[in-house]
Protein backbone atom coordinates (compact mmCIF):
# COMPACT_ATOMS: atom_id res chain seq x y z
CA UNK A 1 0.00 0.00 0.00
CA UNK A 2 2.54 2.55 -1.11
CA UNK A 3 -0.17 4.63 -2.77
CA UNK A 4 -2.01 5.26 0.46
CA UNK A 5 0.85 7.21 1.98
CA UNK A 6 0.87 9.41 -1.09
CA UNK A 7 -2.83 10.17 -1.03
CA UNK A 8 -2.60 10.55 2.70
CA UNK A 9 -0.11 13.35 2.26
CA UNK A 10 -2.31 14.87 -0.43
CA UNK A 11 -5.48 14.60 1.56
CA UNK A 12 -4.09 16.06 4.71
CA UNK A 13 -5.69 19.44 5.19
CA UNK A 14 -3.94 20.93 8.21
CA UNK A 15 -4.15 24.66 7.80
CA UNK A 16 -3.75 25.35 11.52
CA UNK A 17 -0.52 23.42 11.98
CA UNK A 18 1.29 24.33 15.14
CA UNK A 19 -1.47 25.83 17.26
CA UNK A 20 -3.14 23.90 20.06
CA UNK A 21 -6.50 24.12 18.35
CA UNK A 22 -4.88 22.66 15.26
CA UNK A 23 -3.56 19.75 17.27
CA UNK A 24 -7.02 19.03 18.60
CA UNK A 25 -8.58 19.20 15.16
CA UNK A 26 -5.83 17.03 13.87
CA UNK A 27 -6.55 14.41 16.47
CA UNK A 28 -10.21 14.78 15.58
CA UNK A 29 -9.39 13.96 11.97
CA UNK A 30 -7.74 10.76 13.10
CA UNK A 31 -10.70 10.04 15.30
CA UNK A 32 -13.08 10.59 12.41
CA UNK A 33 -11.05 8.23 10.28
CA UNK A 34 -11.20 5.53 12.91
CA UNK A 35 -14.91 6.16 13.35
CA UNK A 36 -15.50 5.63 9.62
CA UNK A 37 -13.42 2.46 9.69
CA UNK A 38 -15.12 1.05 12.74
CA UNK A 39 -18.15 -0.72 11.16
CA UNK A 40 -15.88 -2.58 8.77
CA UNK A 41 -13.43 -3.42 11.51
CA UNK A 42 -16.19 -4.66 13.81
CA UNK A 43 -17.48 -7.01 11.11
CA UNK A 44 -14.00 -8.25 10.28
CA UNK A 45 -13.18 -8.76 13.96
CA UNK A 46 -16.40 -10.66 14.59
CA UNK A 47 -15.95 -12.60 11.36
CA UNK A 48 -12.24 -13.36 11.55
CA UNK A 49 -10.58 -12.74 14.90
CA UNK A 50 -13.27 -14.10 17.23
CA UNK A 51 -13.84 -17.31 15.23
CA UNK A 52 -10.10 -17.90 15.13
CA UNK A 53 -9.76 -17.58 18.87
CA UNK A 54 -12.64 -20.00 19.40
CA UNK A 55 -11.15 -22.37 16.82
CA UNK A 56 -7.81 -22.22 18.65
CA UNK A 57 -9.48 -22.98 21.98
CA UNK A 58 -11.50 -25.81 20.49
CA UNK A 59 -8.37 -27.39 19.06
CA UNK A 60 -7.34 -28.18 22.66
CA UNK A 61 -10.64 -29.91 23.41
CA UNK A 62 -11.48 -33.51 22.68
CA UNK A 63 -14.56 -35.26 21.41
CA UNK A 64 -16.78 -36.95 23.96
CA UNK A 65 -19.74 -38.85 22.58
CA UNK A 66 -21.74 -36.30 20.62
CA UNK A 67 -20.38 -33.38 22.61
CA UNK A 68 -17.00 -32.02 23.62
CA UNK A 69 -14.77 -32.57 26.60
CA UNK A 70 -13.72 -29.00 27.27
CA UNK A 71 -10.70 -29.75 29.45
CA UNK A 72 -7.67 -28.38 27.65
CA UNK A 73 -5.28 -31.06 26.47
CA UNK A 74 -2.78 -31.42 23.65
CA UNK A 75 -4.09 -34.90 22.74
CA UNK A 76 -5.14 -33.85 19.24
CA UNK A 77 -1.82 -32.18 18.54
CA UNK A 78 0.01 -35.29 19.75
CA UNK A 79 -2.08 -37.42 17.43
CA UNK A 80 -1.38 -35.14 14.48
CA UNK A 81 2.33 -35.29 15.33
CA UNK A 82 2.59 -39.05 15.84
CA UNK A 83 0.07 -40.69 13.48
CA UNK A 84 1.63 -40.95 10.02
CA UNK A 85 -1.61 -40.30 8.10
CA UNK A 86 -1.68 -36.63 9.07
CA UNK A 87 1.91 -36.03 8.07
CA UNK A 88 1.31 -37.83 4.80
CA UNK A 89 -1.82 -35.79 4.06
CA UNK A 90 -0.11 -32.52 4.89
CA UNK A 91 2.98 -33.22 2.81
CA UNK A 92 0.82 -34.39 -0.09
CA UNK A 93 -1.26 -31.19 0.11
CA UNK A 94 1.88 -29.06 0.08
CA UNK A 95 3.34 -31.10 -2.77
CA UNK A 96 0.19 -30.74 -4.92
CA UNK A 97 -0.21 -27.02 -4.23
CA UNK A 98 3.53 -26.48 -4.65
CA UNK A 99 3.58 -28.09 -8.10
CA UNK A 100 0.38 -26.28 -9.09
CA UNK A 101 1.89 -22.97 -7.92
CA UNK A 102 5.15 -23.42 -9.84
CA UNK A 103 3.26 -24.53 -12.95
CA UNK A 104 0.85 -21.59 -12.78
CA UNK A 105 3.56 -18.98 -12.27
CA UNK A 106 5.73 -20.44 -15.06
CA UNK A 107 2.81 -20.60 -17.50
CA UNK A 108 1.45 -17.17 -16.64
CA UNK A 109 4.77 -15.31 -16.71
CA UNK A 110 5.11 -15.18 -20.50
CA UNK A 111 1.48 -14.11 -20.77
CA UNK A 112 1.90 -11.28 -18.28
CA UNK A 113 5.17 -10.36 -20.03
CA UNK A 114 3.42 -10.23 -23.37
CA UNK A 115 0.69 -7.90 -22.14
CA UNK A 116 3.12 -5.69 -20.21
CA UNK A 117 5.67 -5.25 -23.02
CA UNK A 118 4.06 -6.10 -26.33
CA UNK A 119 0.44 -4.99 -26.08
CA UNK A 120 0.11 -1.28 -26.70
CA UNK A 121 -3.54 -0.80 -27.44
CA UNK A 122 -6.48 -2.10 -25.40
CA UNK A 123 -4.32 -3.27 -22.51
CA UNK A 124 -7.33 -3.05 -20.23
CA UNK A 125 -9.30 -5.34 -22.52
CA UNK A 126 -6.55 -7.95 -22.32
CA UNK A 127 -6.47 -7.80 -18.55
CA UNK A 128 -10.23 -8.17 -18.31
CA UNK A 129 -10.08 -11.08 -20.76
CA UNK A 130 -7.41 -12.84 -18.71
CA UNK A 131 -9.13 -12.41 -15.38
CA UNK A 132 -12.77 -12.81 -16.40
CA UNK A 133 -13.01 -16.59 -15.90
CA UNK A 134 -11.67 -16.19 -12.38
CA UNK A 135 -14.84 -14.38 -11.33
CA UNK A 136 -17.11 -17.22 -12.34
CA UNK A 137 -18.01 -19.96 -9.91
CA UNK A 138 -15.02 -21.93 -8.68
CA UNK A 139 -17.25 -24.96 -8.30
CA UNK A 140 -18.30 -24.73 -11.94
CA UNK A 141 -14.74 -24.34 -13.20
CA UNK A 142 -13.74 -27.47 -11.31
CA UNK A 143 -16.87 -29.19 -12.59
CA UNK A 144 -15.83 -28.25 -16.14
CA UNK A 145 -12.57 -30.15 -15.67
CA UNK A 146 -14.51 -33.17 -14.46
CA UNK A 147 -16.44 -33.00 -17.73
CA UNK A 148 -13.18 -32.82 -19.67
CA UNK A 149 -11.05 -35.35 -17.82
CA UNK A 150 -13.84 -37.83 -16.98
CA UNK A 151 -13.70 -41.53 -17.82
CA UNK A 152 -16.10 -40.85 -20.69
CA UNK A 153 -15.24 -37.18 -20.75
CA UNK A 154 -14.27 -34.80 -23.53
CA UNK A 155 -10.67 -35.96 -23.92
CA UNK A 156 -11.29 -39.70 -23.67
CA UNK A 157 -14.40 -39.81 -25.84
CA UNK A 158 -12.85 -37.35 -28.28
CA UNK A 159 -9.70 -39.43 -28.70
CA UNK A 160 -11.75 -42.61 -28.95
CA UNK A 161 -14.09 -41.30 -31.62
CA UNK A 162 -11.04 -40.15 -33.56
CA UNK A 163 -9.75 -43.71 -33.26
CA UNK A 164 -6.54 -42.66 -31.51
CA UNK A 165 -7.10 -44.79 -28.42
CA UNK A 166 -9.02 -48.01 -27.84
CA UNK A 167 -9.98 -47.64 -24.20
CA UNK A 168 -10.33 -44.54 -21.99
CA UNK A 169 -7.15 -43.26 -20.40
CA UNK A 170 -7.73 -43.93 -16.71
CA UNK A 171 -5.04 -41.72 -15.28
CA UNK A 172 -6.86 -38.57 -16.35
CA UNK A 173 -9.54 -38.41 -13.67
CA UNK A 174 -9.11 -39.17 -9.97
CA UNK A 175 -5.40 -38.52 -9.81
CA UNK A 176 -3.01 -35.92 -8.47
CA UNK A 177 -2.35 -34.87 -12.06
CA UNK A 178 -6.02 -34.00 -12.48
CA UNK A 179 -5.96 -31.93 -9.28
CA UNK A 180 -2.78 -30.10 -10.31
CA UNK A 181 -4.09 -29.29 -13.80
CA UNK A 182 -7.37 -28.00 -12.41
CA UNK A 183 -5.74 -25.90 -9.69
CA UNK A 184 -3.28 -24.37 -12.14
CA UNK A 185 -6.10 -23.45 -14.48
CA UNK A 186 -8.45 -22.16 -11.79
CA UNK A 187 -5.89 -19.88 -10.13
CA UNK A 188 -4.26 -18.42 -13.25
CA UNK A 189 -5.75 -14.97 -12.66
CA UNK A 190 -4.11 -14.79 -9.25
CA UNK A 191 -0.72 -15.22 -10.91
CA UNK A 192 -1.32 -12.96 -13.90
CA UNK A 193 -2.32 -9.81 -12.03
CA UNK A 194 0.69 -9.49 -9.67
CA UNK A 195 3.10 -10.59 -12.42
CA UNK A 196 1.65 -8.04 -14.81
CA UNK A 197 1.80 -5.23 -12.26
CA UNK A 198 5.45 -5.90 -11.41
CA UNK A 199 6.46 -6.19 -15.07
CA UNK A 200 4.56 -3.07 -16.05
CA UNK A 201 6.39 -1.07 -13.38
CA UNK A 202 9.83 -1.85 -14.84
CA UNK A 203 11.45 1.25 -16.24
CA UNK A 204 11.80 0.57 -19.97
CA UNK A 205 14.88 2.77 -20.23
CA UNK A 206 16.77 0.22 -18.12
CA UNK A 207 16.16 -2.34 -20.84
CA UNK A 208 17.35 0.07 -23.50
CA UNK A 209 20.44 0.82 -21.46
CA UNK A 210 21.18 -2.90 -21.19
CA UNK A 211 20.78 -3.27 -24.96
CA UNK A 212 23.05 -0.31 -25.59
CA UNK A 213 25.67 -1.82 -23.33
CA UNK A 214 25.64 -4.98 -25.39
CA UNK A 215 23.32 -7.40 -23.60
CA UNK A 216 21.44 -9.81 -25.82
CA UNK A 217 17.73 -10.46 -25.24
CA UNK A 218 18.40 -13.47 -22.96
CA UNK A 219 21.03 -11.83 -20.74
CA UNK A 220 18.90 -8.71 -20.59
CA UNK A 221 15.94 -10.73 -19.42
CA UNK A 222 17.97 -12.63 -16.83
CA UNK A 223 19.83 -9.60 -15.51
CA UNK A 224 17.10 -6.95 -15.55
CA UNK A 225 13.55 -8.09 -16.22
CA UNK A 226 13.52 -11.23 -14.10
CA UNK A 227 15.13 -9.76 -10.94
CA UNK A 228 12.92 -6.66 -11.13
CA UNK A 229 9.78 -8.75 -11.51
CA UNK A 230 10.63 -10.96 -8.53
CA UNK A 231 8.17 -9.16 -6.21
CA UNK A 232 5.39 -10.14 -8.62
CA UNK A 233 6.62 -13.74 -8.72
CA UNK A 234 6.68 -13.89 -4.92
CA UNK A 235 3.22 -12.33 -4.58
CA UNK A 236 1.78 -14.66 -7.21
CA UNK A 237 3.28 -17.69 -5.48
CA UNK A 238 1.75 -16.73 -2.15
CA UNK A 239 -1.64 -15.90 -3.63
CA UNK A 240 -1.85 -19.36 -5.18
CA UNK A 241 0.00 -21.59 -2.74
CA UNK A 242 -1.76 -20.47 0.43
CA UNK A 243 -5.40 -20.81 -0.63
CA UNK A 244 -4.85 -24.01 -2.64
CA UNK A 245 -3.31 -25.96 0.25
CA UNK A 246 -6.69 -25.84 1.98
CA UNK A 247 -8.75 -26.58 -1.12
CA UNK A 248 -11.17 -29.46 -0.88
CA UNK A 249 -13.54 -29.02 -3.83
CA UNK A 250 -10.98 -29.91 -6.49
CA UNK A 251 -9.65 -33.02 -4.71
CA UNK A 252 -13.19 -34.07 -3.81
CA UNK A 253 -14.39 -33.90 -7.42
CA UNK A 254 -11.21 -34.89 -9.25
CA UNK A 255 -8.71 -36.30 -6.79
CA UNK A 256 -9.91 -39.80 -5.98
CA UNK A 257 -8.18 -41.59 -3.12
CA UNK A 258 -4.66 -40.62 -4.24
CA UNK A 259 -5.54 -36.99 -4.64
CA UNK A 260 -7.24 -36.34 -1.29
CA UNK A 261 -5.81 -33.33 0.52
CA UNK A 262 -5.84 -32.01 4.06
CA UNK A 263 -8.90 -29.88 3.25
CA UNK A 264 -10.96 -33.00 2.58
CA UNK A 265 -9.89 -34.43 5.91
CA UNK A 266 -10.80 -31.24 7.77
CA UNK A 267 -14.17 -31.19 6.05
CA UNK A 268 -14.74 -34.83 7.09
CA UNK A 269 -14.05 -34.00 10.74
CA UNK A 270 -16.78 -31.36 10.63
CA UNK A 271 -19.06 -33.65 8.64
CA UNK A 272 -19.26 -37.43 8.61
CA UNK A 273 -16.57 -38.13 11.25
CA UNK A 274 -18.05 -35.46 13.52
CA UNK A 275 -14.88 -34.78 15.48
CA UNK A 276 -14.89 -30.98 15.54
CA UNK A 277 -11.95 -30.54 17.93
CA UNK A 278 -9.76 -32.65 15.64
CA UNK A 279 -10.93 -30.57 12.68
CA UNK A 280 -10.03 -27.43 14.60
CA UNK A 281 -6.59 -28.83 15.44
CA UNK A 282 -5.94 -29.70 11.80
CA UNK A 283 -6.99 -26.19 10.70
CA UNK A 284 -4.59 -24.63 13.20
CA UNK A 285 -1.77 -27.00 12.19
CA UNK A 286 -2.41 -26.16 8.53
CA UNK A 287 -2.23 -22.43 9.31
CA UNK A 288 1.02 -22.88 11.24
CA UNK A 289 2.61 -24.88 8.44
CA UNK A 290 1.53 -22.35 5.82
CA UNK A 291 3.01 -19.52 7.89
CA UNK A 292 6.25 -21.45 8.39
CA UNK A 293 6.58 -22.29 4.70
CA UNK A 294 5.76 -18.69 3.74
CA UNK A 295 8.45 -17.37 6.10
CA UNK A 296 11.09 -19.79 4.80
CA UNK A 297 10.15 -18.93 1.21
CA UNK A 298 10.43 -15.20 1.94
CA UNK A 299 13.77 -15.69 3.68
CA UNK A 300 15.22 -17.75 0.82
CA UNK A 301 14.08 -15.34 -1.90
CA UNK A 302 15.38 -12.39 0.13
CA UNK A 303 18.79 -14.10 0.41
CA UNK A 304 18.79 -14.98 -3.28
CA UNK A 305 17.98 -11.38 -4.23
CA UNK A 306 20.79 -10.08 -2.02
CA UNK A 307 23.19 -12.46 -3.72
CA UNK A 308 22.19 -11.21 -7.17
CA UNK A 309 22.53 -7.60 -6.05
Partner 1 sequence: MSGTYIKRPNRPLQIYAVIFLIVLYTPVLFIPMFSFNDSLYVRFPLQGFTLQWYGELWTREPVWNALWNSIKVGVVVSLISTLLGVVAARAITRYRMPGKSALVTFIMMPLVIPGIIFGVALLVLMSRMGVPLSLYTVTVGHLIVCLPFAVATLLPRFEGFDPSMEEASADLGENGWWTFWRVTFPMVFPGVIASMLLTFTISFDEFIMAFFLTGTDPTLPMYIWGQLRFPQEFPSVLALSSLILFVSFALVFVAQRIGRVGLEDEL
Quick one: which of 241, 224, 236 has its CA closest to 289?
Answer: 241
Give the contact letters, 103-142, x = binds to partner 1 (CB under 8 A), - = no: ----x--xx-xxx-xx-x--xx--xxxx-xx-xxxxxxx-
Query: Does residue 3 touch partner 1 according to CB under 8 A?
Result: yes
The residue (of 227 and 246) whose beta carbon lies closer to partner 1 is 246
Query: Does residue 297 touch partner 1 according to CB under 8 A?
Result: no
CB atoms within 10 A of CB 242: 16
Tell me the number of residues near partner 1 by CB under 8 A.
99
Exactly one of 204, 213, 214, 257 binds partner 1 (CB under 8 A); that residue is 204
Give the contact letters, 80-99, x = binds to partner 1 (CB under 8 A), - = no: --------------------
What span, in angstroms and rounded, lies between the C-alpha atoms of 47 and 283? 16
Considering only residues 170 to 189 of the shown chain, the ones binding partner 1 according to CB under 8 A are: 185, 188
Exactly one of 100, 148, 195, 260 binds partner 1 (CB under 8 A); that residue is 148
Sequence-distant (≥ 6) Cβ neighbours of residue 242 within 8 angstroms: 290, 294
Considering only residues 249 to 278 of the shown chain, the ones binding partner 1 according to CB under 8 A are: 249, 253, 263, 266-267, 270, 276
The residue (of 144 and 230) whose beta carbon lies closer to partner 1 is 144
State the angle between helix axes of 50-58 and 276-308 in degrees (0 to 180), rounded to the nearest 10. 110
DSSP summary character for residue 108: H
Query: Does residue 23 touch partner 1 according to CB under 8 A?
Result: no
> Hey, which bits of the chain come out as E strands?
62-64, 67-69
What span, in angstroms and rounded, lies between the C-alpha atoms of 93 and 87? 10
Stretch that binds partner 1, among 16-24, 98-106, 239-247, 301-309 (CB under 8 A): 239-247
Sequence-distant (≥ 6) Cβ neighbours of residue 5 within 8 angstroms: none
The residue (of 9 and 309) whose beta carbon lies closer to partner 1 is 9
Considering only residues 29 to 88 of the shown chain, the ones binding partner 1 according to CB under 8 A are: 29-30, 32-37, 39-41, 43-44, 47-48, 50-52, 54-55, 58
Sequence-distant (≥ 6) Cβ neighbours of residue 258 within 8 angstroms: 174, 175, 176
Amino acid sequence: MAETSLSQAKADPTPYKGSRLGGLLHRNETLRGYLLMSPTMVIMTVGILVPFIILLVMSFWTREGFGFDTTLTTTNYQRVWTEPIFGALLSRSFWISGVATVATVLLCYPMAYYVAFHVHRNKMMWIILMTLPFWTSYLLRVFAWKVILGYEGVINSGLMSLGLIEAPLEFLLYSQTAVIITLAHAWAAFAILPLYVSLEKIDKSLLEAATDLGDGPVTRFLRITLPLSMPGVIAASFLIFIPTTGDYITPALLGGPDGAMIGNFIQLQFGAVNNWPMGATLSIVLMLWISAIALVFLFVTRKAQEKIA
